[in-house]
């Protein structure tokens, strides 16, 4: 989980362009202001370096993940139903062919 930093000086070009820095960097390369931890998506200042997203963006990511999981579960159930139907039909067809031969 890579956390990012940004310039806290609102008049600095790097802040206005929402430029990001590595976690190991301490000061802005343009204005020399100490760097702060910022949200990876929206550039909102984070209170500590523990997270890489703000609460709002983290909630968006969790919602997206939940939607993906529901879609996968639904598709998996549909595939299982089709597979079961195909297996049942195949067994019936096989026994029908055996009865024709015998």
Q: How many domains does the chain have?
A: 2
Q: What angle do CA 27, 28, 31 make, to 5 degrees?
A: 115
Tell me what pLDDT residue 78 has: 67
| Biggest CA pair distance of the chain | 90
Tokens of 48: 């500590």
Tell me what pLDDT residue 51 has: 81
Shortest CA distance to 11 belongs to which of 27, 33, 44?
33
Tell me what pLDDT residue 91 has: 66
- My answer on whether 38 and 8 are in the same domain is yes
- What domain range includes position 13? 1-53
Per run of 10 residues, the mean pLDDT along the chain (length 102 residues) is 85 92 91 92 82 89 82 71 70 68 62
Please state the separation of Cα 10 from the chain's center in Å: 29
- My answer on whether 41 and 63 are in the same domain is no
- My answer on whether 60 and 94 are in the same domain is yes
Cβ pair 9, 15 in contact under 8 A: yes
């Amino acid at each position: 989980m890579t956390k990012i930093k940004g310039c806290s000086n609102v008049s600095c070009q790097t802040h206005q362009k929402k430029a990001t820095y590595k976690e190991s960097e301490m000061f802005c390369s343009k204005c020399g202001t100490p760097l702060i931890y910022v949200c990876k998506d929206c550039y909102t200042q984070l209170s500590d370096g523990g997270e890489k997203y703000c609460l709002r963006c983290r909630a968006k990511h969790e919602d997206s993940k939940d939607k993906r999981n529901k879609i996968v579960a639904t598709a998996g159930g549909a595939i299982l139903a089709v597979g079961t139907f195909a297996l049942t039909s195949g067994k019936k067809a096989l026994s029908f062919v055996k009865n024709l031969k015998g």
